[in-house]
Amino acid sequence: MSTETPQTSKRVTTRTLQEMKDAGVPIACLTAYDFLTARLLDDAGIDLILVGDSVSNVFQGNPTTLPVTLDEMIYHTKAVSRIVRRAMVITDLPFMSYQVTTEEAFRSAGRVMKETLAHGVKVEGGRRVAKVVEKISGEGIPTMGHIGLMPQSILKFGGYRPRGTSEAEAEELVDDAMALQEAGAFAIVLEKIPATLGARITESISIPTIGIGAGVQCSGQILVTHDMLGLFEDFRPRFVRRYAALADAMDEAFRQYIQDVKSGHFPNESESY
Ligand code: KIV
């Protein structure tokens, strides 16, 4: 298996991602909601940046993803997409921006594409949203699916337990993935399902799968950046690997600053005019 992204300096597109799946090159994805994080991710070589509705939890402080609005997603996407040069930028369509009618879903996706420089959108659901995916992607907007654990339905499911653990549920998820592919999705996020099912879905469809807690056999992986940096510590699912402890580093810096100000050690002479 090669680990090189094809065409490394060129813009990542749906075609690049498909080529990566076909060549067995893993696709690296993370979330961003602001220009600075997006620039760091892009410079580091990330393939896809998701302006996720997880912004509701880790930026706005809400208990779920439900409250974030389309206007707010557009605001964050503008901040991200204006700086990104190489990665593909995908925006989550938030709860209630695509569920009522197919026309409204297309209007919401159209607003994202008109008002930001995003390259596509993501919706949660399988067969239930196939018509929506067909409409949006049929109109030329790259559309990503998201099945397994779906945070916008968390209150219905009553918790964050893994999905697809019974054979019946696993079959349903395979059918959902097939339906999304047939509807024109260019990739599918698989969240919190057994690794064996992640592998099975990845083999059953030709488009890339992006796993978050779905095992190493997915075509790519995604994490919420605030989780992998150790910034958001309110809950720690098993699938999050911590690559830094930024909350601890920030806490230390803030305490030191307060102590320096209060003790008269900041600013010193070289920090003054
Ligand atoms: O909103 C988000 O960040 C997501 C990822 C967890 C896939 O949907």
> Residue 39 contacts by C-beta under 8 Å, 6 or more apart in sequence?
83, 84
**Which residues approach ligand 1 with their CB closer than 6 A?**
31, 50, 52-54, 92, 146, 189, 212, 222, 224
Give the chain as a DSSP string. ---PPTTTTSPP-HHHHHHHHHHTPPEEEEE-SSHHHHHHHHHHT-SEEEE-TTHHHHTT--SSSTT--HHHHHHHHHHHHTT-SSSEEEEEPPTTSSSS-HHHHHHHHHHHHHHS---EEE--BSGGGHHHHHHHHHTT--EEEEEES-GGGHHHHTS---S--SHHHHHHHHHHHHHHHHHT-SEEEEES--HHHHHHHHHH-SS-EEEESS-TTSSEEEE-HHHHTT---S---TTPPPS--HHHHHHHHHHHHHHHHHTT-SS-GGG--
Statement to judge: residues 157 and 271 lie in one domain: no
Domain membership flag for residue 187 = yes
Instruction: Give 195-230 pLDDT, tens digit per residue.
Output: 999 999 999 999 999 999 999 999 999 999 999 999
The number of the ligand 1 atom at minimal distance from the alpha carbon of 223 is 6
Pocket test for ligand 1, best of 76, 92, 98, 147 (most atoms within 8 A of CB): 92
> In which band, very low, low, confident or very high, does the pLDDT at 1 lie, cut at 50, 70 and 90?
very low
Statement to judge: residues 78 and 189 lie in one domain: yes
Tokens linked to 259: 């102590």
The phi and psi torsions of 146 (rounded to 5 degrees) equal -155, 110
Statement to judge: residues 62 and 181 lie in one domain: yes
Which is the catalytic residue, given 169, 182, 191, 252?
A: 191
Domain membership flag for residue 73 = yes
Cα(210) to centroid(ligand 1), Å: 11
Statement to judge: residues 130 and 237 lie in one domain: yes
Domain membership flag for residue 170 = yes
Domain membership flag for residue 65 = yes
Q: Does residue 7 have a pLDDT over 70? A: no
Whole-number pLDDT of residue 8? 54
Domain membership flag for residue 9 = no
Statement to judge: residues 263 and 165 lie in one domain: no
Statement to judge: residues 50 and 81 lie in one domain: yes
Q: Does residue 191 have a pLDDT over 50? A: yes
Domain membership flag for residue 1 = no
Mean predicted confidence (pLDDT) in 58-65: 96
Statement to judge: residues 38 and 71 lie in one domain: yes
Q: Does residue 16 have a pLDDT over 80? A: yes
Tokens linked to 192: 């919190």
Average pLDDT, the chain: 96
Cα(22) to centroid(ligand 1), Å: 24
Instruction: Give 92-143 pLDDT, tens digit per residue.
Output: 999 999 999 999 999 999 999 999 999 999 999 999 999 999 999 999 999 9
Identify the burial level of 221 via C-beta atoms within 10 angstroms of its C-beta, where 0-12 means exposed, 13-18 middle and 19 or more buried.
buried
Mean predicted confidence (pLDDT) in 191-197: 98
Pocket test for ligand 1, best of 27, 29, 31, 212 (most atoms within 8 A of CB): 31
Whole-number pLDDT of residue 253? 98
**Residue 191 annotated to the active site:** yes
Domain limits for position 99: 14-242
Look up the pTM and report it: 0.96
Statement to judge: residues 49 and 146 lie in one domain: yes
Whole-number pLDDT of residue 5? 53
